[in-house]
Amino acid sequence: MTTLHWSGTGVEVHRVVVGPVDNNVFVIRCTATGEAVLIDAANEHNMLLELCEALGVRTVIETHGHWDHIQAVPALRDAGYEVGVTAEDAAMLPSYDYLLEDETVIEVGRLRLHTLHTPGHTPGSMSFHLQDTPLLFTGDTLFPGGPGATKYEGGDFTTIIGSIEDRIFSRFDGSTIVLPGHGDNTTVGTESPHLDEWVARGW
């Protein structure tokens, strides 16, 4: 199985699609040191454990706490991987090890992953920008065609639109590649012209 999804100088991004709603699980790997981080321990824990071992994963970070993104958390913690999540979403997880805070840097070997609190889909939704690359991992905040759903408990449409406008579209140029929690990649340049349409339709 080929998992390599994107590569650049000193970095590889691997992707597998797991579970009943086709969750994207990403592994960001520093090729200089062999250290890696896994984003969203969603499902199919045996596959994820194999991936972690093969790619040198050191820790797991969650974009948010919805059930479909956390099914493999207990198995990965049992195997010795620490799991991080925002304080706002921590209660949704069966267990976790540390809290992710806004505007901090996660070191992955020589790579630097910046945290961005992007609430709206859930109160604690988090996006991650990989420094010196065009990559932005948005979880269920931004997809091709619009924002993630806000009909679930803790979701808020006005909040998610604010997150997308203020924390994504105003910070990142059009060439920024958006890697969402489900589905295909898109770019900020593809999505940003449609913000007013999303506001008008209300979902």
Taking 70 as the pLDDT cut, the residues of the chain under it are 1
pTM: 0.98
Residue 141's closest CA among 173, 157, 124, 164?
164
Residue 203: predicted pLDDT: 77
Bridge-based pairing of strands 11-18 and 4-8 is antiparallel
| Helix and strand numbers, DSSP H then E, in the chain | 5, 15
Model pLDDT, residue 202: 87
Question: What residues make up the domain containing 37?
Answer: 4-201
At residue 35's C-alpha, the angle toward residues 46 and 184, to 5°, is 60
Strand partners, 36: 29, 57
Burial environment of residue 16 by CB neighbours within 10 A (0 to 12, 13 to 18, 19 or more): buried
> What is the pLDDT at residue 92?
97
| pLDDT score recorded for residue 170 | 98
Q: Which CATH number does the domain housing residue 119 bear? A: 3.60.15.10
Sign of the C-alpha dihedral, residues 177, 50, 107, 18? positive
Compute the distance between CA of residue 126 and CA of residue 112 in angstroms, rounded to an integer.
16
CA 190 to chain CA mean position, Å: 19
Q: Which helix (H) or strand (E) holds 162?
A: helix 157-163
What's the total number of domains in the chain? 1
